[in-house]
A and B are shown apart, each in its own frame.
Chain A
């Protein structure tokens, strides 16, 4: 056992590092936060576009993609090494991840050669931003219960309905979309998959105000939006199969929860209060921090086990499936602990204080436990896919979609 790179991996890491050092600024303790992306006076969009273009020109944008679309055909372990190195630098995040992580693989698998040539390089270059239009007001965990309707009209489809929780819809150029083409078929069989120009007439984007007060998601309304049949991905009725490709990618992408962890809880507990006492002297606090440390260490070492398999060229086991459940719940607990540490004044927010990170963690965690698969759905996935347990009995099996009880 060791934590060393193989000679090839070390060489690749050094190459990543050398390029990053010239082109970006290393994070320091001070700048090491998700909020600080060193974007100066530029907007996040401008800064992110600039960084993406820089990477693309040098071949680092989508290194696991084939050469013709701007990649270098990197192996999975090389992809991880690049991500590890890039994460040590202060670079803009939060604009391209969904498109590159979810729309990218679907286009790669289902688009025609001409479409790939047209759309993939600009996606990698950052010239065009993509979003994902799956969830609907009545289709959250039960994504396949979506109701947005597509009706075929000659060479086109006419789409009506509403999508929700669409990250970045307000600045996206294209979106991947799953809709119902036939409500007379069974739930999963009546779905068809498209990509759509977000500037199409009839698309309206409205931001959702989250409980944090911020807005990173949108509602997207479709009113008689025309989508050419040539933008269909997969066969008519194959929408679910295509969607699963991206949902699997999403579950990999929404991994570790960013934010305070056992270390921050430990540091906070070591601070002295006015009477010179430390929380770390409280046994209940010691126990909690020990447990969080074990969870954080367990996640870290789980990741290293996955990397070990990739480094050997093997397919990793299912162990990484625990990541989001553990990290989002831990984040919520540590956020709670942070505020408790200030006792009667723990609710007071101060933008200038470092303490606010515990409050933001607590608020954000409530969303993270839902995003990209709720705790409950992820546990079902572990139970069914990893442990092989049978599916829950269902009230919608064998019914035409239009006959499924909807409670409304």
Chain B
């Protein structure tokens, strides 16, 4: 029985934690929030330098050739410090798509550049404020040209490439587009988290290359979403742990009515509830990590379980962290809001909590999995 990370993986996690603490990623995040920027270039360059963008990329493409498990521990640390970098878009979404579905030629031309940082990728799905489905995609691919508009595309400004979910005749296909092309317009969209950038991206006949089987675009996308759900769940438990730690520290330091507020049962029970939610989420995320790294048949169920639990845990922990801090928690000055905002962005980016509960039930109906 080994539902845990290896010593080497834990060491990598420790190194990641030290690095991000030394860089003071939280402070960098605040600086990004106070500026017009949506990411920090210097921190990103250092992360590329450490090889993190190539963790999962096979050695033949100059990557580190490691597993999803190494990516999970890095994700947890990035989440803990709400690092303002396009890591999730480029690594969990774009790189995963390339590794899973790219042709040999596509892999040869793009994967090495993801390792060096010359390519940064993202994934463009949403078009309207309804949940995307294979029947409501209208951005269209015709004769290798893409037209239409995607919204809420993460990191599109810093990204050089995007995988785009497109209607292709009667099919939905995934295709890769160079975002620097003149036929692509990118406009920043205001969003709730000032340390993340979301954009509307218009394609005006831009060249696009199909990735993966052109008839299987939607099911391929669902597979990538399952991968990303597990990886994001580690960012979420990292953020949830940081929120709980902040609340815990403050509850011990802050006095009211002549005693630390953490000595009141109402506060203890609040923090215990946060711990319970986080523990459930962590255990489910470990299970998701196992399913992802071993390519298990249970992956759709395990990914949805990790996603639902981690979303609930991070949202609960970040909102109750503000509550624990009282009025201070509502200020810009305290860090609580960074986690609150990030928790909501992370709860929406792959689809909402109700959408993932629905996915979970569907997977149970299909797979007939029992506990």
The residues of A with any CB-CB pair to B shorter than 8 Å are 1-5, 9, 77, 261-263, 266, 280, 283, 286-287, 289-291, 293-302, 304-305, 307-309, 311-312, 319, 322, 325-326, 376, 378-380, 382-384, 386-393
Contacts and interface: CB of A to CB of B under 8 A. Distances in A.
B371 A263 contact: yes
Interface in B246-273: 248, 251-252, 259-260, 262-265, 267-269, 271-273
Interface string B1-15: 111110000000000
B287 A293 contact: no
Contact of B371 (A287, A296, A379): A296
9 contacts: A3-B1, A4-B1, A286-B358, A291-B312, A297-B284, A304-B1, A304-B287, A390-B260, A393-B259
Contacts of A280: 361, 365
B275 interface: yes
Given A290-B357, A297-B309, A298-B280, 5 more contacts: A293-B371, A302-B280, A302-B283, A378-B272, A380-B269
A268 B34 CA distance: 53
Contacts of B263: 389-393
Contacts of A294: 280, 284, 305, 308-309, 312, 360
Contacts of B371: 261-263, 293, 296-297, 300
Contacts, number: 163
B361 A390 contact: no
B280 A299 contact: yes
Interface size class of B (residues with CB under 8 A): 35 or more
Interface stretch (B183-191, B289-297, B315-323): B289-297
Contacts of A388: 248, 252
Nearest to B247: A387
A304 B3 CA distance: 6
Given A287-B354, A291-B357, A379-B272, A301 B262 contact: no
B286 interface: yes
A234 to B, nearest CB: 30
Contacts of B358: 286, 290
A382 B276 contact: yes
Contacts of A383: 262, 267-269, 271-272
A390 B252 contact: yes
Contacts of A266: 364
A29 to B, nearest CB: 11
Contacts of A2: 1-2, 290, 294
A385 to B, nearest CB: 10
A356 B340 CA distance: 43
B116 interface: no
B187 to A, nearest CB: 35
Contact of A326 (B259, B276, B293): B276
A1 B4 contact: yes
A131 B263 CA distance: 35
B279 interface: yes
B157 to A, nearest CB: 35
A278 to B, nearest CB: 11
A2 B72 CA distance: 16
Contacts of B282: 319
B22 interface: no
Nearest to B356: A290
B4 A308 contact: yes
A322 B275 contact: yes
Contacts of B365: 280
